[in-house]
Copies of this chain bind each other. A is one copy, B any other.
């Protein structure tokens, strides 16, 4: 039930209606791993620069995240800056400096080749495919992507989509990938590209899991205050893959439904602070309490 995430570790500068944070720990692999570690051992494969604060690496270690695959390369760490509009629904990227991330070519060490659950965060689909080729016998693989790869590297993306079990997208991406404007039909068209599962993330409106033989809709967990939505999707993925990793059968419908609910719950912690602060502080008891509250939220 070991989990591997390949993605970014970044220093983010974020402005939201609730305040501002500068050069704080972020990146898809960071959010994913910090969520998934609640369920099963997780290892991250990523790259940072020489300026990456030792305290961040120590934090990962303290959370029992395997950082043996977190390489340090000459140069600066990937930096992203963005700001959110008043309703949190529109995000504007102010600055992207790939730095060492531009040359990221993930190579798995022996310890990670046997990973059973793999999350391919939002990187070039050829790199995602390269990672898959290195994993010996994955049990369940999920990838995330974005409009940039859908438009610019569609062929590579379609290649890797044929090789994964699940794909995470937002509704705009699902529509862009398939040309279908109706969300349900778009998600089904995604399944025809290969994955047996499409998870459509809808931000404050929750998520929909579309499989060949079932549909599952889960609302976002209603938090009292959204501080920063950055990383919510990767946190969802961490809860989702993490919960699957400890299921007897990760392909069973009930396991997939419960996993998506865990994803929603983990994401609800993530948005309550800048960076990983609230997610780091979340206890297993708090997670289970929100799972119970989520169940009650949708009961009728």
Among the listed stretches A54-62, A159-167, A214-222, which one makes contact with chain B, having 4 or more residues with CB under 8 Å of it?
A: A214-222
Chain A contact residue count (CB 8 A cutoff): 36
A203-233 interface bits toward B, Cβ cutoff 8 Å, 1 = contact, 0 = none = 0111010000011111100111110000000
A interface: dominant SS:
mixed
Assess whether A110 is interfacial by the CB under 8 Å rule: no
Contact between B299 and A257 (Cβ–Cβ < 8 Å)?
yes
The docked-state distance in angstroms from the alpha carbon of A208 to that of B17 is 23
Contact between A225 and B298 (Cβ–Cβ < 8 Å)?
no
Among the listed stretches A67-75, A176-184, A280-288, which one makes contact with chain B, having 4 or more residues with CB under 8 Å of it?
A: A176-184
A181 — which chain B residues lie within 8 A by C-beta? 17, 86-87
The docked-state distance in angstroms from the alpha carbon of A205 to that of B202 is 9
Contact between B222 and A219 (Cβ–Cβ < 8 Å)?
no
Contact between B184 and A218 (Cβ–Cβ < 8 Å)?
no
A216 — which chain B residues lie within 8 A by C-beta? 297-300
Copies of this chain per assembly: 2
Assess whether A40 is interfacial by the CB under 8 Å rule: no
B183, B219, B261: the one within 8 Å of A217 (CB): B219
Assess whether A258 is interfacial by the CB under 8 Å rule: yes
A182 — which chain B residues lie within 8 A by C-beta? 224-226
Contact between B204 and A219 (Cβ–Cβ < 8 Å)?
no
A157 — which chain B residues lie within 8 A by C-beta? none
Contact between A300 and B218 (Cβ–Cβ < 8 Å)?
yes
Assess whether A260 is interfacial by the CB under 8 Å rule: yes
Contact between A258 and B300 (Cβ–Cβ < 8 Å)?
yes
Contact between A217 and B184 (Cβ–Cβ < 8 Å)?
no
Known pairs A87-B181, A182-B224. 18 more at Cβ < 8 A?
A17-B181, A86-B181, A87-B175, A182-B226, A183-B204, A184-B223, A202-B205, A205-B205, A205-B206, A206-B217, A208-B219, A214-B296, A216-B299, A217-B222, A218-B298, A254-B300, A257-B300, A298-B298
Q: Which 5 A-B pairs have the closest CB atoms?
A: A217-B219, A205-B205, A257-B300, A298-B298, A261-B300
10 contacts between A and B (CB under 8 A): A182-B224, A182-B226, A184-B222, A205-B206, A214-B296, A215-B222, A216-B299, A216-B300, A217-B297, A257-B299
